[in-house]
Amino acid sequence: RRVSWLLPGMIRYRRMALYVGLDSSTQSLTATVIDGAAGSRRVVFEHSIVFARDLPQYGTVNGVTRHDDPLVVTSPPLMWVEALDMMMAALARQRMFDPADVAAIAGCAQQHGTVYLNDTYAAALAALDASRPLAEQLQGVFSRRESPVWMDESTGPQCLALAHALGGPDEVARVTGSRPFARFAGPQIKKFAAGNPAGYAATRRIDLVSSFLASLLLGAPAPLDPGDAAGMNLMNIRTRRWSPPALDATAPALAQRLPPIQDSSARIGVLARYWRDRYGLPSAELLPWTGDNPSSLVGAGLVQAGDVGVSLGTSDTVFGPVDTPPAEPRWANVFGSPTGGYMLLVCFRNGSLAREHIRDRYGLDWPGFSRALADTPPGNNGALMIPWVEAEITPTIDSPGLRRFNLAEDDAAANVRALVEGQMMAMANHWDALAGRRPHRIRATGGASSNRAILQVMADVFGADVYPAASTSAASLGGALRALHAVEAARGGADWRALVADFVGGGGEAVAANPAHAAVYHRLRGDYAAREAEATASSRT
Ligand code: ADP
Ligand code: XUL
């Protein structure tokens, strides 16, 4: 254990400079612990609990349960309870730091998932017994044993009904920040309330995964933050309060079942007695939990308008902080940002899966795919491809199919370049239009961000330098940074830019935009937008 100093007057000071971030994602619970002391700022500990591997008794595959209806995807909320108990035990047990030095804890969770609790919930939290495991004490608090998660696509009819009741999908987006989406909490609550009125009547409170886990740490029902509450189609994105018409259109007497919404940076209390008595953890300050996407914004160092992240995962997403929500969010999602403004997120379904499709269609591997990009000129001699291998989200296209222009199907290298250029032009065009400005730099994440040939096209098309991300746990790091920021703010000196500069970065050499290539794409992006508009119009008829 670290030595404490004995000062004159026998006041005992202990170094309290550790901050914990937690991330309860679809498949795992991760903790990142940072040292926030000036001069020694770094990540000191990281640990993950993988639900399917470490909690096999819940029978999930990759953290979720499938059902007869293939559109329904749920997780058992008790599994998240037990994982949190295991994680806090692990934090208390590890030998990398003194748990007594933990000053504050913040967290985040997969967005949109809902937890349904009965009238014993608050009392059970207040009466937690440190001699018994948490899950054993909370198994009776659920009015619904399964939580629908963001992968659940079963609420199409509820989305249509909500749009109809509230003046159309774009009006819902103007008010709540997103059109009605099947995975969002509001449509999910609507389906439960109508399909199981007795279950809904027995429900005293509906948490998101984030506010549920924050409640466990607090030992009392905890508030939601505007970052995650924005993923419900229930909150007015500008006032950051529940929208009465949206609540009325969703389920009866919903207001009394929802947590209050509280600023992401406001302290909510201290770690409950259960954790202190059971594991010897200190009475650390607690912050509201947020969604994993808003948390990743901070964890990827994107804290200023003009900072943009591009994630090249299964889908591709472009995201970043913006000062005001777009007047017409259209296909985008607007969430609250933990830094106080807004987070804009634009999702493109044809990401890595489309790249794999083209790679396999031309019999290539990833090195061959990269060579094809190296062997072809930026602008591809005017060839274009609209990359809709699958139904697309941005713009919304139900009848997929690749569209080639000035492009021979048998030219493998030109097709690889056309695909990647098409993907990047779509992202850059939609981002600039929705955010109202071009990025000044881009942080690249996700599996395909290891491919520098792809990142070069990204830099040239967006006209901005690209920085590969170092960390794969931006969401939990974001929690730790939020915790540190809140403590610094309480002392009167917090600066997000300085803070992220100390912790984020070092992910390999930046890929610089080439000005001559950026000029080529400036023209081509207009052509692409015109082709995309035609293809969108014709897919509607
Ligand atoms: P997820 O969205 O599931 O978290 P990841 O961010 O892990 O996805 O990205 C996985 C994807 O990364 C794979 O589907 C693969 O297509 C892509 N990928 C991995 N290596 C490369 C590479 N060298 N070049 C291009 N894509 C790659
Ligand atoms: C965002 C979304 C996912 C989950 C994943 O809208 O549905 O990114 O947050 O955890």
Tens digits of per-residue pLDDT, 90-127? Answer: 999 999 999 999 999 999 999 999 999 999 999 999 99
Supply the mean pLDDT for the chain: 95
Instruction: Select from 284, 289, 286, 238 the least CA-distant residue to 259.
Output: 289
Question: Cα–Cα distance between 206 and 197 in angstroms, integer?
Answer: 14
In the block, tokens 């969108």 appear at 536
Q: For residue 256, give the DSSP letter.
A: G
Compute the average pLDDT of residues 350-360. Answer: 96
Residue 192 CA to its chain's centroid (Å): 24
Query: Tens of pLDDT along 496-536?
Result: 999 999 998 777 899 999 999 999 999 999 999 999 999 99
Helix spans in 152-237 (H) = 156-165, 169-176, 185-195, 197-201, 209-218, 226-229
Split at pLDDT 50, 70, 90, the class of 398 is confident
State how far the Cα of 381 lies from the Cα of 426, in Å rounded to an integer.
18
The mean pLDDT value for 22-43 works out to 95
Q: What is the Cα–Cα distance from 292 to 376, expressed in whole angstroms?
A: 38
| Residue 257 scores a pLDDT above 50 | yes
Ligand 2 atom at shortest distance from the alpha carbon of 26: 10
Q: 145-159 burial, b for 16+ CB within 10 Å, e for fewer?
A: ebbbbbbbebbeebb
**Nearest ligand atom owner, CA of 311:** 1
| pLDDT for position 539 | 82
Does pTM top 0.95 for this prediction? Answer: no
User: For atom 18 of ligand 1, which residue has the closest CA?
Assistant: 448
Can you tell me which residue has the tokens 């599994």? 79
- Asked whether the predicted pLDDT for residue 211 surpasses 50, the reply is yes
Relative to the CA of 355, which ligand 1 atom is closest? 16
Question: Which of 150, 210, 343 to mutate for ligand 2's pocket (most ligand atoms within 8 Å of CB)?
Answer: 150
Q: Choose which residue among 23, 64, 352 to substitute to test ligand 1 binding: the one with the highest number of ligand atoms within 8 A of its C-beta.
A: 352
Virtual torsion, Cα 525, 527, 531, 532, nearest 10 deg: 20
Alpha-carbon distance of 427 to 318, in angstroms, equals: 7
CA 527 to each of CA 23, 292, 406, 429, 430: distance values in angstroms, whole numbers, following the listed order: 41, 35, 12, 11, 14
Rounded to whole angstroms, the Cα distance separating 192 from 251 reads: 9
pLDDT reading at 414 higher than 80: yes
Closest by CA position to 247, among listed 172, 135, 317 = 172
Gap between the Cα atoms of 432 and 439, Å rounded: 8
Q: Whose CA is nearest to atom 23 of ligand 1?
A: 451
444 membership: H or E segment, kind and range: strand 441-445
Name the closest-CA residue to atom 5, ligand 2.
110
Task: Estimate to the nearest angstrom the gap between the alpha carbon of 195 and the chain centroid.
Answer: 29
User: What pLDDT score was predicted for residue 16?
Assistant: 62
Q: Which ligand is nearest to the CA of 312?
A: 1
* Residue with CA nearest ligand 2 atom 3: 111
Q: Which helix (H) or strand (E) holds 235?
A: strand 235-236
Residue 510 neighbours by CB under 8 Å, 6+ apart: 465, 466, 467, 468
Cβ within 8 Å of residue 527, ≥6 positions away:
384
Q: In Å, what is the CA distance from 467 to each residue of 35, 88, 311, 444?
A: 24, 34, 12, 6
Q: Which atom of ligand 1 is nearest to the CA of 352?
A: 16
Nearest in space to 480 (alpha carbons), one of 309, 287, 322: 287
Instruction: Find out whether 270 and 221 touch, Cβ atoms under 8 Å.
Output: no
User: In which band, very low, low, confident or very high, does the pLDDT at 11 lie, cut at 50, 70 and 90?
Assistant: very low
- Residue 384 has a pLDDT of 98
What is the CA(158)–ligand 2 centre distance, in A?
Answer: 19
List residues bridging with 5 in a β-sheet. Answer: 13
Which ligand sits nearest to residue 372's alpha carbon? Answer: 1
Residue to probe by mutation, ligand 2, list 73, 152, 292, 319, most atoms within 8 Å of CB: 292
Q: How far is CA 421 from the centre of its chain?
A: 26
Could you give the count of Cα atoms lying within 13 Å of 359 in the half-sphere of its Cβ? 16
Closest atom of ligand 1 to CA, residue 312: 6
Residue 147 has pLDDT above 80, yes or no: yes
Which uninterrupted H or E stretch holds 103? strand 102-109
What pLDDT does 128 receive?
98
Closest among 309, 254, 351 to 445, alpha carbons compared: 309
Is the pLDDT at 37 greater than 60, yes or no? yes
Per-residue burial over 433-468, b if 16 or more Cβ lie within 10 Å, else e, is ebbeeebebbbbbbebbebbbbbbbbbbbbbbebbb
Tell me which residue of 338, 23, 293 sits closest to 32, measured CA to CA. Answer: 23
Ligand closest to 310 (CA) is 1
- Per-residue pLDDT averaged across 269-297, rounded? 97
Which amino acids bring their CB within 6 angstroms of ligand 1? 313-314, 352, 355-356, 366, 446-448, 450-451
CB 464 within 8 A of CB 521: no
**Nearest residue by C-alpha to atom 12 in ligand 1:** 447
How remote is the CA of residue 446 from the centroid of ligand 2, in Å? 14
* Ligand 2 pocket check for 121: Cβ under 6 Å: no
Say whether pLDDT at 5 is over 80. Answer: no
pLDDT bin (cut points 50, 70, 90) of residue 399 is confident
With vertex at residue 148, the alpha carbon angle to CA 237 and CA 203, rounded to the nearest 5 degrees, is 80
Please give the pLDDT value at position 148. 98
- Residue 442 near residue 465 (C-beta atoms within 8 A): yes
Ligand 2 center to 63 CA (angstroms):
14
Ligand 2 atom 1, closest CA: 111
DSSP 8-state assignment for residue 514? P
Task: Take atom 3 of ligand 1 and give the residue whose Cα is closest.
Answer: 314
Whole-number pLDDT of residue 15 = 63
| pLDDT at residue 2 greater than cutoff 60 | no
Confidence of residue 4 (pLDDT cuts 50, 70, 90): very low
- For residue 150 and ligand 2, the question of a CB distance below 6 A is answered with yes
Give the pLDDT band of residue 13 (cuts 50, 70, 90): very low
What distance lies between CA 114 and its chain's CA centroid? 15
Integer Cα distance of 470 and 154 in angstroms: 36
